[in-house]
Amino acid sequence: MSSSVHPIDSEQKTLVETMKAILRLSDSSVNHVLCYGTYHTKVIPLALALLDYGYNSESLSHNIWMHLLSDVDNIEELSQFLVPAGGSFQTVSRSFARVSNLQGASPIRPLTWQGVAIRFQQSTKLMKTLLEWTLTFFRDLLIPIMAKGRTPTPSGVSTASRNQKDLKKKLIERDGWFSRVGYVMDFHAPAHITPLPAAAAVLEAAHIIPFSTSKNLALRRMISVFAGQDMEVLLAGANINDASNALLLSPTTHKYFGKFRFGLECRDKKYFIRRLVEDRVLTAEVLTHEDGEEIFFGEESQEIAKPSSLLCNVHLAVCLVLRNSGAAETIDKILQDEDAFNDGYVDGDYWFHVSASYLDRELGALQAFDELNIDDTDDMMDADTDGNHAIRIG
């Protein structure tokens, strides 16, 4: 692909690199936010975190480009400034090969990547698509996957309790009577089990990918995009309660794992703990491990499946996106507010949505998109007095 831009800008870029370049160059000048009450998450850092830390950045990049290219006007507009900048725009999809044949595909002037970013920022349609894409991941992946289970419905109490007991039994058979993360002894351990020099608690079976995923088709589909492979069957039905999707943890450590404050990295069939927040907000049980310390599972039995490397690494990738974008803190506050809003009770075993008023809030967000107004005449996006464009979701 020929280009008359400066040599530093004529380098061929992959789809992921192209989008990252645009977002990084936009980060300091575009302050769009997703708002919930007084809480907010910045759009550009979240989009960048998804591409930087998502389990499959190529899948995520392809997904956002397909959204951007969903409109023929967008295709023509993108061709105007991506092709001459030397990006690999034509490799997005063979079905969009006609981009190079569009009339007027040559720009009026050569563009640097800074120029590409400015043109992207000035496009109302393209920025709206980016906002919608980021909101979808925030709303349909990150919030639901952080939401905790609540009081089961009467019909589900016995089944949920039985499944939990069966899963815990398998994990004890696999790992023994203490948690491999934190080394906490189970209160119900037989007397002949040698106590460890650590705490004791009633241990719990903690799902790596939350149980709620099995009942939330939209969440499973979003995880599939995030992972770059079909996860819908793997996380549906009884599969969610497989030992490969579970750890034996104390209630405190289970809480911190569910808040994505630490995770497990699996490399070469070995497991390593990854601490992702400051020490002062981690449980003492997690602090017994150094960051990167190897954790051993299956010491008691090789017959029970060890934690899935795929699920551990997907969970860790979600951790990294949440923590590096700042979205985790916002979602924590959202969930606390929703818990208070619902008096600590949400109908159903787990939260399919954030609250009973969720639909109304989604409609409010769509209205905010309709009202979004971007001035194409300026080099940068119009902003309010604080330099922000707010998409309100609550």
172 and 225 belong to one structural domain: yes
pLDDT of 84 strictly over 70? no
Sort 314 into a burial class: Cβ within 10 Å, 0-12 / 13-18 / 19+. buried
Residue 135 lies in a domain: yes
Q: Do 122 and 167 share a structural domain?
A: no
Q: Are 380 and 374 a contacting pair, CB within 8 Å?
A: no
Residue written as token pair 């104390």: 250
Write down the pTM of the prediction.
Answer: 0.82
User: For 19-75, what is each residue's pLDDT tens digit?
Assistant: 998 999 998 888 888 877 677 889 999 999 999 999 999 999 989 988 988 877 788
Domain boundary among 322, 338, 372: 322
166-173: Cβ within 8 A, 24+ apart: 166/241, 167/205, 167/241, 167/243, 167/246, 168/203, 168/204, 168/205, 168/248, 170/243, 170/246, 170/304, 171/205, 171/243, 171/246, 171/247, 171/248, 171/304, 172/248, 172/300, 173/300, 173/301, 173/303, 173/304
Residues 116 and 165 both lie in one domain: no
What mean pLDDT comes out for the span 215-244?
Answer: 93
* Mean pLDDT along residues 85-110: 45
Same domain, yes or no: 157 and 237: yes
Q: What are phi and psi of 32, to 5 degrees?
A: -65, 145
Judge whether residue 122 has pLDDT over 80: yes
356 pLDDT above the threshold of 60: no
Work out how many domains the chain is built from and give that number.
Answer: 2
Domain hosting residue 28, numbered range: 7-144+359-392
Would you give the distance in Å from CA 252 to the centre of its chain? 23
User: What pLDDT is stored for residue 148 in this prediction?
Assistant: 64
How many Cβ atoms sit within 10 Å of the Cβ of residue 249? 26
270 and 164 in a single domain? The answer is yes
Is 227 within the bounds of a domain? Answer: yes
Higher-confidence residue of 384 and 115: namely 115
For 371, the token pair is 């009202």
**Is 51 domain-assigned?**
yes
Q: Residue 160: what pLDDT?
A: 64
Mark whether 179 and 107 lie in a shared domain. no
If one counts every other C-beta atom within 10 angstroms of the C-beta of residue 318, the result is 23
pLDDT at 151: 37
Q: Is 299 a domain residue? A: yes
- Dihedral of the alpha carbons of 124, 15, 317, 310, in degrees to the nearest 10: 130
Only one residue has tokens 């981009």, namely: 99
For residue 381, pLDDT beyond 70 = no
Taking only the tens place, the pLDDT of each residue in 140-198 is 899 889 886 433 444 444 566 778 899 999 999 999 999 999 999 999 999 888 776 66
Q: What is the mean pLDDT of residues 328-343?
A: 77
Same domain? For 245 and 264 the reply is yes
Rounded distance, CA 207 to CA 212, Å? Answer: 10
Q: Give a yes or no: residue 330 inside a domain.
A: no
Task: Let me know how long the chain is.
Answer: 394
User: Does residue 333 form part of some domain?
Assistant: no
| 3-class DSSP assignment, residue 217 | helix
Which residues, listed in sequence order, are joined to residue 34 by a DSSP beta bridge? 41, 391
Same domain for 103 and 16: yes
